[in-house]
Amino acid sequence: MKYTWLGHAGIRLEIAGEVLLIDPWIDGNPMFPADSREAMLEGATAILVTHGHFDHVSGVPALARELGAPVYGIADLMGWWGESEQGVEVVGFNKGGTVRIGEVAVTMVNASHSSSVSTPDGPVYTGAEAGYMIAGEGRTVYVSGDTDVMADMGVLQDLHAPEIGILCAGGHFTMDMRRAAYAASKLFRFQTVIPVHYRTFPLLEQSAEALKAALPGVRVLDPDPGETVEL
């Protein structure tokens, strides 16, 4: 299993023969390693989106057409794209639902945030925000999406027992490093934690050191964008 950070909340996850791109904000993302674009997107078999904010879905329909990859996400947003975006294959589902992508099982789970896109006529609701439990190769990865700490996380631990947590941790719009560490230590029992949704803009946290310090005995990874690590 391999993880590559695409910058901000973007993730490339290679698992059980699939290459999943999660919230791949490419164009306009100051953290995306543009000089490695081909390598970052090579072999993508599916795209997952967690909610409708621009820093998660901007350019995704065009990217899906380019890659010929289906897009999975909340039913409301997928229904809209299915009607308005020609040539994009969408799979809409909802919280508690599970879809299979090859040998990978993806369950949509709760998050606590908001979800909309800006249009000339004002913001448009795009369905609820979500996270994912991604199971394959006998292991489970939790992708939190944008969220704060939730009591629901204890339920998710009981139901899914994820070994790996990819957690938003930049603060201001989501959990910060301290709150992500609380979630990881009090509600989950991760072996590996990876922070995302930080460093992109000055108002976000710029370092993962506080997360590392708060999680002794846990493997905390903070690779640079474009760097691939084995999970």
60-82 residue pLDDT tens: 999 999 999 999 999 999 999 99
For residues 114 and 212, what is the distance between their CA atoms, to the nearest angstrom?
28
Domain spans, the chain: 2-223
Supply the pLDDT for residue 124: 87
Instruction: Write the CB contacts of 138 (distance below 8 Å, at least 6 apart in sequence).
Output: none
Other Cβ atoms closer than 10 A to 68: 10
pTM: 0.97
Which residues of the chain fall below pLDDT 50?
A: none
Other Cβ atoms closer than 10 A to 220: 21
**Residue 51: which of 22, 21, 74, 26 has the closest Cα?**
74
Supply the pLDDT for residue 119: 86
Supply the pLDDT for residue 11: 98
End-to-end CA distance of the chain: 5
Torsion of CA 5, 11, 16, 18, to 10 degrees: -120
Supply the pLDDT for residue 44: 98
Taking domain 2-223, whether its CATH number is 3.60.15.10 is answered by yes
Supply the pLDDT for residue 118: 85
